[in-house]
Amino acid sequence: MSVQTASRRQLLHWALAAAAPWTQSSSAWSQNSLKHNPFSLGVASGSPNHNSVVLWTRLMPDPLAGNIHFAQDPVSVHWEISDDENFKKNVRTGQVLALPELAHSVHLELQNLPSDHWFFYRFRLGDAHSSVGRTRTFPHPEAQSNKLRLAYASCQRWEHGYFSAYRHMRQENLDLVLFLGDYIYEYPNAVKAVRVPTGGWVVTLEDYRRRYALNKSEMDLQAMHAHCPWLVTWDDHEVSNDYAGLVRGQSGNISVDFSAQRAAAYQAYYEHMPLRASVLTRSLAGMSTGAEMRIYGQVPFGRLANIYMLDDRQYRDRQVCNRGGTYGSSWVNPENCAAWTDPQRTLLGAAQEQWLDQAFAQAKSSARTWNVLGQQTIFGRRDFKQGQGQLLWNDGWDGYTAARSRMTQSMQDHALANPVLFGGDVHENWVGHVHANPDRIDSPAVGVEFCGAGITARSGGDKKLAARLAENPHFIFADSDHNGYGVVEFTPQQVKTQLRVVDDVRRKDTKIETLASFVVEAGESKVRRI
């Protein structure tokens, strides 16, 4: 039976089987001498909490080979986890299944681990060993924690340059990476491409698998995945540019059944990310008719922070007032768009909005210092028209004003402590304040936001950036000339953020520097440059 015809229950069963460690004796594969390194895509960890983490790899003979299938049958993979990188202290071992239905990906969910603890892990198949990965559990939700150090990143487009920023990110002494979307791009090429991806337009399951394999063949990305755990969410290019729910975007072949394309894209995303099998509870076979793949969620980091990861693509309403009624996004004058302020329109979907409101309500009783939101795009208003009137982009929060108002109102209703929002998508750095009313600078500031530049994706530059900052005074900083990532250190007293940028993504040996630094004091919804 193929993956395409399998039932939702069967696919979930496969995922759960592949996630569970087991102790059966090694299969014949364990004795085989392999022609290629089956761990050519590296290792990764993610979805951490205080007593559990997911360890990932995918068996593949050669990431650049024409045939990307490892085998026709399930394969048992040996795993080890230890307190030291030489695997001599407190070693746990076992086996886990890699299933052909899931591209021989491994999603090993280790449970009952000690909290606030670093580990080393690796996989083995036959005489081949994976690279050694490093991961950690979070502090217990009731434990005091004095520091959380993370990086936020997004938008790694193969054609636009090398992922060398990750080589520098490894030196940042991080606990965690927040990846905020556009892990791959579905395009076949780009203007002034630094390098051209293989495979043309990405549309089918095999296309998506190849594109992930291509990106993961980049050694700097592999090394960063192996360095610490990641929390991940997606944006649009994991499927199609500016798609909205089950409505296609503006890239690829419009004759393709988009619901099938999205289902294939979501499956490939799961296969290549360190996610728990529980995200598939209503997924894969059912996704072609709109069933969800739930990637949003919340995890505490001791008593220091709540971390929320959101999904603003899967459940959103279609963008309104596109020029010519086209798919995707558009610049819009809200005065000429009757649907702009429709109170029923949603970016997160009703269920996710309700979950987030309840999470904000519970956050007050938990009394954690910081509430950290990882989401896809820029939150505050960006008016691109100087003077009277507005010109807004309808694909981000600006195009879903009622949904944004409900979120900021929820923050106020529940007196959410110290919200800090991180975003990506726009390929530019923007730093500013989240106001109760985004159109009124004199309305209360309810939080702060940092929207990051892409790892490689270009912004195209912006000669009018200074004027646009003046038009949007709730932002205190913007830059459209650099690529990179942000590094954030949380303590009980304050948050410090550094915008780390590379000098040229077209060079593998690109250098890194700090473009700007900012601080937010606990108890004050105010960001200042230092």
Q: What is the SS3 assignment for 362-427? A: HHHHHCCCEEEEECCCCCCCCCCCCCCCCCEECCCHHHCHHHHHHHHHHHHHCCCCCEEEEECCCC
Q: What is the pLDDT of residue 291?
A: 66
DSSP string, 32-60: PPPSS-TBTT-EEEE---SS-EEEEEE-B
Query: Residue 330 carries which side chain, given as an amino acid letter?
Result: S
Count of structural domains, the chain: 1
Q: What is the pLDDT of residue 7?
A: 46
Cβ-contact 462, 480 below 8 angstroms = yes
**CATH code of the domain containing 344:** 3.60.21.70
Cβ-contact 381, 475 below 8 angstroms = no
Q: What is the pLDDT of residue 284?
A: 57
The residue among 210, 407, 181, 404 whose CA lies nearest residue 314 is 181
Q: Is 199 inside any structural domain? A: yes
Cβ-contact 19, 277 below 8 angstroms = yes
Q: How far is CA 16 from CA 29, 106, 109, 291, in A?
A: 22, 11, 9, 18
Q: What is the pLDDT of residue 61?
A: 77
Cβ-contact 60, 68 below 8 angstroms = yes
Residues 6+ apart with CB under 8 A from 477: 429, 430, 431, 432, 469, 516, 518, 529
- Compute the half-sphere exposure of residue 261: CA atoms within 13 Å on the CB side of its CA: 25
Q: What is the pLDDT of residue 35?
A: 75
Query: Residue 320 carries which side chain, given as an amino acid letter?
Result: V
b vs e for 452-473, b when ≥16 Cβ sit within 10 Å of the residue's Cβ? bbbbbbbbeeeeebeebbebbe
Q: Which residues pair with 80 in a beta bridge?
A: 93, 122
Q: Is 313 inside any structural domain? A: yes
Tokens of 188: 């076949």
Q: Is 394 inside any structural domain? A: yes
In this structure, is the dihedral angle defined by the CA atoms of residues 155, 50, 353 and 414, taken in order, positive or negative?
Answer: negative
Query: Residue 398 carries which side chain, given as an amino acid letter?
Result: D
Longest dimension (CA), the chain: 73
Q: How far is CA 293 from CA 255, 264, 315, 335, 342, in A?
A: 24, 12, 10, 36, 27
Position of tokens 């072609």? 288
Tokens of 302: 């001791």
Question: In angstroms, rounded to a whole number, what is the distance separating the alpha carbons of residues 497 and 451?
Answer: 11
Domain with 408 in it: 8-529
Cβ-contact 95, 76 below 8 angstroms = yes
Q: How far is CA 280 from CA 104, 299, 453, in A?
A: 16, 18, 30
Strands 148-153, 176-179: pairing kind: parallel
Q: How many CB atoms lie within 10 A of CB 353?
A: 17
Q: Is 16 inside any structural domain? A: yes
Q: Is 3 inside any structural domain? A: no
Rounded to two decimals, what is the model's pTM? Answer: 0.94
Q: Is 1 inside any structural domain? A: no
Position of tokens 């996989």? 123
Q: What is the pLDDT of residue 290?
A: 62
Question: In angstroms, rounded to a whole number, what is the distance separating the alpha carbons of residues 343 and 350?
Answer: 12
Q: Is 353 inside any structural domain? A: yes
Question: In angstroms, rounded to a whole number, what is the distance separating the alpha carbons of residues 279 and 293?
Answer: 6
Q: Where are the beta strands (DSSP E) in 293-352?
A: 297-301, 305-309, 331-332
Helix orientation angle between 350-366 and 401-413, rounded to the nearest 10 degrees: 20
Residues 6+ apart with CB under 8 A from 287: 259, 262, 263, 266, 267, 293
pLDDT in tens, the chain (530 residues): 333 334 445 555 556 666 666 544 444 444 456 778 899 999 999 999 999 999 999 999 765 555 667 888 999 999 999 999 999 999 999 999 999 999 999 999 999 999 999 999 999 999 999 999 999 999 999 999 999 999 999 999 999 999 999 999 999 999 999 999 999 999 999 999 999 998 899 999 999 999 999 999 999 999 999 999 999 999 999 999 999 999 999 887 778 899 999 999 999 999 999 999 999 866 556 555 666 899 999 999 999 999 999 999 999 999 999 998 899 999 999 999 999 999 999 999 999 999 999 999 999 888 899 999 999 999 999 999 999 999 999 999 999 999 999 999 999 999 999 999 999 999 999 999 999 999 899 999 999 999 999 999 999 777 889 999 999 999 999 999 999 999 999 999 999 999 999 999 999 999 999 999 999 999 999 999 99
Question: In angstroms, rounded to a whole number, what is the distance separating the alpha carbons of residues 462 and 228?
Answer: 34
Tokens of 224: 């960063």
Please tell me what DSSP assigns to residue 208. Answer: H
Question: In angstroms, rounded to a whole number, what is the distance separating the alpha carbons of residues 49 and 305?
Answer: 12
Strands 483-490, 92-98: pairing kind: unpaired
The residue among 131, 133, 132, 137 whose CA lies nearest residue 118 is 137
Cβ-contact 105, 275 below 8 angstroms = no
